[in-house]
Amino acid sequence: MQLYFSPTSPYVRKVSVLLRETGQMADVEHLAIQTTALNTDADLKTANPLGKIPALTRPDAPTLYDSRVICRFLDARAEAGLYPEERIWDTLTLEATGDGIMDCAVSMAYEVKLRPEELVFDDWLTSQWAKIERALDALNNRWMSHLYGPLDIGHISVGCALGYLDLRHDARNWRAGRDALAAWEKSFRERPSMAETVPVA
C-alpha cells in the first residue's frame, strides 16, 4: 500500500499515528507530495479525484481517501479496536470533533496563505475560530473522562487537531482557560506515535 501525504497535514498525521499505534508502518510506503488547494499534484489527482490527502492506494482495490475512511480500514485490518463497539457513538463523535477543529483551522490557514492579503476575509477567520473555541470548550468541559480512558480514534483525532493549532494558530493560545484539556494534551503528545509525527512548518 502507498500513502500520499504531506507532513504538515493534520489528517495525514491521524493516519500516521494510527499506523504506528497498530504496528502497520512497514506495510505502507509513504509518498511525499507538494499539493495545495489551488494546485493539485498530478499523481494525487489520479489516485483521488478530489485531489485531497491523505489517499491510500491498495493493490487490486480502489484507493481509499478521507482520513476517517482510511483509519477505519487500517483499524479493521489490524483488528486494533480503536473503534470500540461498546462506546462507538462517543468515539465517532469525539473523532468528528477533532476533525471539525482541523477543518476550521485548515480553512483559516488557507484563507491567509492562499488569498491576497488585501482580500483576506477577517469575518471568515473570526467565525472559524469561534467554532474551534466552542469545540475546545466542549472537550475541556464534557469529554475529559473519555480522553483519559482507553485509547481510541477520538484521542488520535483530538491530539492531531490540537497539534495543528500549535503549528498554524499558536498565537491564538487555545490553552487559555482550558487547563484540563491542556494537561491532557501535554501528556498525550509524549506518546511515541505522536512524538514521531510532530509537524514542522
What is the 8-class DSSP label of residue 33? -
| Residue 14 exposed, middle or buried by CB count within 10 Å (0-12, 13-18, 19+) | buried
pTM: 0.94
Give the mean pLDDT of 50-61: 90
Q: Residues with Cβ < 8 Å from 131, sequence gap 6 or more? A: 100, 104
Domains and CATH numbers, the chain: 2-78 (3.40.30.10), 85-195 (1.20.1050.10)
Residue 69 has pLDDT above 90, yes or no: yes
| Residue 3 exposed, middle or buried by CB count within 10 Å (0-12, 13-18, 19+) | buried
Give the mean pLDDT of 156-160: 98
Rounded CA-CA distance 139/113 in Å is 28
Residue 111 has pLDDT above 80, yes or no: yes
User: pLDDT over 90 for what percent of the chain?
Assistant: 80
Q: Say if CB 92 and CB 36 are below 8 A apart.
A: no
63 or 37: which leads in pLDDT = 63
Report the b/e string of 157-180 with b at 16+ CB within 10 A: bbbbbbbbbebbbeeeebbeebee
Give the mean pLDDT of 87-102: 98
Place of cell 494558530: 169
Give the mean pLDDT of 183-190: 98
Give the mean pLDDT of 139-151: 97
User: pLDDT over 70 for what percent of the chain?
Assistant: 98
Question: 10-14, 17-21, 36-40, 50-54: lowest mean pLDDT where?
Answer: 36-40
> Would you place residue 36 in the very low, low, confident or very high pLDDT band (cuts 50, 70, 90)?
low
